[in-house]
Amino acid sequence: METKPRDRILQAASELFYANGIKATGVDAIAAQAGSNKMTLYKHFPSKHDLVIAFLRKRDKDFRVWFADRLNSKASQPKEKLLAIFDIIGEWLNIPEFRGCAFINAAAEFPVEGNPVHQVSAEFYDHFRVFISDLASQCGITAPESLALQLSLLVEGAIVSEQMKRHSGAAQQARQAAQVLIESRLRNAD
């Protein structure tokens, strides 16, 4: 089955944005990698900005599906899932193609909070924190939003640490810190 031009363009943009950065990737390179041209690219994405937003939205959707599948295959109980988050992140950090988090990278390239690229990036981590908060709430943890923020900060820190220095062991260290935080909150919940 032949891939639609829009999908090929979005796939090419996704690969190039992640590998090289958004601002460093031109539409000519995207069109060439997609086996297309700029006219077709702009037909489907009126601006590079629209293409960037589509890339981030697709990345968000793909990540959620991948992450949920991995998490459900590793753990069944909420507490186990909270810790398994760090195992899954650790697996991701170890793939050779790892170039950091697309959302953190995008927010760094577009640092103004009102910028739509920055906003989409921030939304990703807002949703991630809500997901963690729901798991913490299922464990009976009081103030689950606070724990979710702490665990999310550990994840984000591990990602950036690994991006700065490959094979740093950041995910394992973050998991150990998460275990201490979770156990402390569970003791306080009793």
SS3 of 23-41: the string is CCCCHHHHHHHHCCCHHHH
Query: What digits encode the pLDDT tens for the residues 39-59?
Result: 999 999 999 999 999 999 999
Straight-line distance from the first to the last Cα atom of the chain, in angstroms, rounded to the nearest whole number: 56
Cα(101)–Cα(111) distance, integer angstroms: 15
Chain mean pLDDT for the chain = 95
* Pair (93, 164) in one structural domain: yes
101 and 61, same structural domain?
yes
Pair (161, 87) in one structural domain: yes
How confident is the model over 118-132, as a mean pLDDT?
Answer: 97
Q: What is the pLDDT of residue 3?
A: 86
Given 3-state DSSP classes, what are the helix, strand and coil percentages for the chain, each rounded to the nearest 5? Answer: 75, 0, 25
**How many domains is the chain built from?**
2
CATH number at residue 78: 1.10.357.10
Task: State residue 37 phi and psi, 5-degree precision.
Answer: -140, 170
Output the pLDDT for position 47: 96
pTM of the full predicted structure? Answer: 0.92
Q: Which two tokens stand for residue 37?
A: 């041209």
Domain of 16: which CATH number? 1.10.10.60
Residues 134 and 185 in one domain: yes
* Rounded percentage of the chain residues whose pLDDT exceeds 70: 98
Phi first, then psi, for residue 127 (nearest 5°) are -65, -40
Mean of pLDDT values over 150-172: 96
Please report the pLDDT score of residue 34 as a whole number.
97
pLDDT of residue 190: 64
> Which domain does 15 fall in, by range?
1-46
In this predicted structure, the answer to whether residue 87 has a pLDDT above a threshold of 90 is yes
Residue 1 confidence (pLDDT) above 80: no
Q: Which pLDDT belongs to residue 68?
A: 94
Are residue 87 and residue 70 in the same domain, yes or no? yes
Q: Is the CB of residue 22 less than 8 Å from the CB of residue 30?
A: no
The pLDDT, as a whole number, for residue 114 is 93
User: d(Cα 21, Cα 16) in Å, to the nearest integer?
Assistant: 7
Contact (Cβ atoms closer than 8 angstroms) between residue 109 and residue 29: no
| Cβ pair 86, 79 in contact under 8 A | no
